[in-house]
Chains A and B, each alone.
Chain A
Amino acid sequence: MTAAATPTAVATLLPTTTVGSFPKPPSLLEARRKVARKQMDGAELQALERRATEEWIRRQEELDIDILVDGEMYRGDMVAFFADQMDGFEIAGLVRSYGNRYYPKPVVVRPVGRRGPLTVDWFRFAQGLTPRPVKGMLTGPYTIAEWSFNEYYPSRRELVMELARAIHDEAIDLERAGARYIQIDEPAIHTRPDEDFELAVEAMDVVTRGLNAYTVTHVCYGDVPKIYPAMLRLAVNQIDLALKNDEFALLETFRSPRFTKDIGLGVLDAHSHRAESPDEIVDGIRRTLDVIPAAQIYVSPDCGLKTRTIDETVAKLGAMVEGTRRVRRELGA
């Protein structure tokens, strides 16, 4: 896919968006616990998930964010959500990620594949609530493979490519359902840069092949300079990155060679409680403008915000939108 084929659905300069997840309201967290203990049925849970989704759509509209997300009220872990619904996976057990946070790590035990659409109903529901574009949100094949145990496929390549075909089918279904923006999260893409970054590139080619939607991939943590400029070969329109948590140090990497894709510029630290000030946002965008032209910049948080509170999230996003507005005014947009 070339930049020339990029559909421009949002007219404004420096469009604002988010990475995907938002915090779940306490009532929903409690309901999820009850369902896990079989004290509540799925229908009741889904009603709460729908209500929470609608609340996040309204909040994003009130904040005046340009490209919305559904907030993933119905997802737990970003890999397990897909693994749970697909053929070939079981859950191996709980594995610690940090502190006392554990995630249900999937294990591939049979050929993997999609039984049917995974995210389309929720996309339709969220898009039906707002005239603003809602992004379709997928976890990428490399990350699903990397963050699962593999007991079935002889090599990582076979697993990744099979998953790429499944995620491609899902992306096509999202586009048919009206998604103009599709994000394929690949936070694990730079896990083994020497060994198989090419595999990640090939997999993304398969995922986005033939799509007309504007495509985004989100990469976070890890050694981004190590996959630069190779990552510019990923078949997406935009690469969304965490700039704020290292105070925009990555910009030095992007000076040369030039950042040729659009960038999803992470301007909010997703893992700090403190709300950034609009001035900090202005400063971050200005520094970026020195390296990447305004027309290539989308403004977003560093990562999904699900580990923040609702108040923290709203405060951070409010500063992001206000800071972005100020820069737009400076640029005469």
Chain B
Amino acid sequence: MNTTVVGSYPKIPDPPAPGRWRTSVEKLQRGEITREDLHRVEDEVTAEVLREQADAGVDLLTDGQIRWEDAFTYFARGLDGFTINGLQRYFDTNVYYRQPVATAEVAWRGPITVADYQFAATHSARPVKAVVTGPFTLAVLSKDEFYGTLDQFVMALAAALNKELRALAAAGATVIQVDEPGLLARRDQFPLFRRAAEALWDGVIATRAMYTYFGHLDGLYPAILDLPVSVIGVDFVAAPKNWDVLRRAKFTKVLGAGVLDARNTRLESADEVAAACRRAAEIVPAEMLQIGPSAGLEFLPRRVARRKLEALVSGVRAARGGAS
């Protein structure tokens, strides 16, 4: 049983500490610094959040997605075929993203996240996983003005992002996570999702993880176990129902169990986390468990995110102790 995170991490520290990233963006907008200067700050903040996760004791880290303005723009800008529209609300949050619009053939023109992964891997004391927004979620939250059917749009994105995953694997990423919360918003499209997953992961030599969050897997389970991945992330906080859903069939993958509420400041106690771990251990053997928050932690103030990770690690340690 080990610990991990889902992805994003707060970009700025709590006041009165200076929010360097935020003030740098303002300076860039006023033309006082260059884009390269901002990238340097993003590097520093990335190193800082890697350290913070490691200090909290988390086993498998991410780069915190400090460079991502949001999970969609970052990829849409890196691919051919997209323009970027106005603000849309991101799922059930008071967080916004700019909606990508496919206006031409979508294609991979070069690595989008590879340099980020390499930077994180070389600046982290602990293993880092690469994270990519999945083709299905990207399609569902974008606007299609080119393909005409969701099927064609999703499959084109899967083919393009397959190249990104291959590039990450070639650059040394041993664990690659693809985020697909969009599946839960369009569960009727699972046959398409599955075909897209086959294309997406084709020839990708790495530990493959697929994360869902913000909802339940009712209607998708156990079919979801057929996906060509070895880790499936499940949100037990937004959807406590998942505890029951996963009992309906033997869970045959590594379970990325989201048990810590990434959407509320209320701090879980180590005991609560340990209890959730023991419950998860009834679904899969402990060695097939990766315990983490329910979603990216960016929606929380930094101090709270940090404390949540500490509670996570203490809880998992307590559960491990109890199990041995």
Binding site for B on A (CB under 8 A): 92-100, 102-103, 105, 107, 146-147, 149-151, 188, 191-192, 221-222, 245, 269, 271-272
Sample (19) of A-B pairs whose CB atoms are under 8 Å apart: A92-B304, A93-B14, A93-B15, A93-B302, A94-B14, A95-B10, A96-B10, A96-B11, A96-B12, A97-B94, A98-B96, A102-B22, A103-B94, A147-B94, A150-B264, A151-B266, A191-B92, A222-B88, A245-B86
Interface contact A149-B15, CB-CB below 8 Å: no
Interface contact A97-B92, CB-CB below 8 Å: no
Q: Hey, which chain B residues are within 8 Å of A100, CB to CB?
A: 21-22, 25-26
Report the Cα distance A147→B87, complex, angstroms.
Answer: 18
With A188-B94, A245-B86 already in contact, 19 other A-B pairs whose C-beta atoms are closer than 8 Å = A92-B265, A92-B301, A93-B304, A94-B14, A94-B301, A95-B94, A95-B299, A95-B301, A96-B12, A98-B87, A98-B95, A103-B94, A150-B266, A151-B265, A151-B266, A192-B92, A221-B87, A271-B86, A272-B86
Please name the residue on chain B nearest to A269 by beta carbon. B86
Interface size class of B (residues with CB under 8 A): 20 to 34
CB distance from A1 to the nearest CB of B (A): 28
CB distance from A132 to the nearest CB of B (A): 32
Interface contact A149-B264, CB-CB below 8 Å: yes
Interface contact B15-A94, CB-CB below 8 Å: yes
Interface contact B96-A97, CB-CB below 8 Å: yes
Report the Cα distance A103→B301, complex, angstroms.
Answer: 10
Binding site for A on B (CB under 8 A): 10-12, 14-15, 19, 21-22, 25-26, 69-70, 86-89, 92, 94-98, 263-266, 298-304
Q: Hey, which chain B residues are within 8 Å of A96, CB to CB?
A: 10-12, 95, 298
Q: Hey, which chain A residues are within 8 Å of B299, CB to CB?
A: 95
Report the Cα distance A146→B264, complex, angstroms.
Answer: 11
Report the Cα distance A192→B238, complex, angstroms.
Answer: 12
Q: Hey, which chain A residues are within 8 Å of B11, CB to CB?
A: 96
Q: Choose among A92, A93, A99, A271 the residue with the greatest number of B CB atoms under 10 Å from its CB.
A: A93
Q: Hey, which chain B residues are within 8 Å of A149, CB to CB?
A: 263-266
Q: Hey, which chain B residues are within 8 Å of A222, CB to CB?
A: 88-89
Report the Cα distance A245→B85, complex, angstroms.
Answer: 10
Please name the residue on chain B nearest to A92 by beta carbon. B265
Interface contact A94-B87, CB-CB below 8 Å: no
Interface contact A93-B301, CB-CB below 8 Å: yes
Q: Hey, which chain A residues are within 8 Å of B266, CB to CB?
A: 149-151
Report the Cα distance A41→B73, complex, angstroms.
Answer: 42
